[in-house]
Amino acid sequence: MAGARSRSAGALEALVMRALWTAAAPLSANAIQATFDDPAPAQTTILTVLSRLEAKGLVSRRALSPRRVMFEPAVSSAQAHAADMVEVLDGAQDREDALMAFTDNLSEGDLDLVMDAIASRRSRRGS
């Protein structure tokens, strides 16, 4: 069915970013499109998503010529996901409750990683 969406805009952005993060080098829109299972989004859709990601500061564009444009992530996967978590936390009605609920859902291994990260940050700050 022409014009029917099978993915949300956010899901499409996430798939484009995943393609860029896993690539060893910058990718063209055509190469990004090739990473999708069928039905792959149209190349114009990929280019629209890339423009939106560029406006958000997540993707950088490198024009090798007017018809040859390559794209690469402007931030790492870790940086992007950390920013997403901070944004969600900033939107919480009760920040403390949100943090407590978040830690209740972490595995023991994740809790250890968070505790190590906190200790490392405090030692760098001199606290």
Residue 62 β-bridge partners? 70
The predicted pLDDT at position 70 comes to 97
Over residues 102-116, the pLDDT tens digits come to 999 999 999 999 999
Residue 1's pLDDT band (boundaries 50, 70, 90)?
Answer: very low
The predicted pLDDT at position 33 comes to 96
Please give the average per-residue pLDDT across 11-25, as a whole number: 96
The predicted pLDDT at position 2 comes to 47
Q: Where are the domains of the chain?
A: 9-73, 77-125
Over residues 35-89, the pLDDT tens digits come to 998 889 999 999 999 999 999 999 999 998 888 999 999 999 999 999 999 999 9
The predicted pLDDT at position 125 comes to 85
Residue 6's pLDDT band (boundaries 50, 70, 90)?
Answer: low
Helices in the chain by DSSP H: which ranges? 9-22, 29-33, 43-55, 77-90, 95-104, 108-125
* CATH annotation of 9-73: 1.10.10.10
- DSSP symbols for 43-70: HHHHHHHHHHHHHTTSEEEEEEETTEEE
pLDDT at 11 over 70: yes
Could you tell me the pTM of the whole model? 0.78
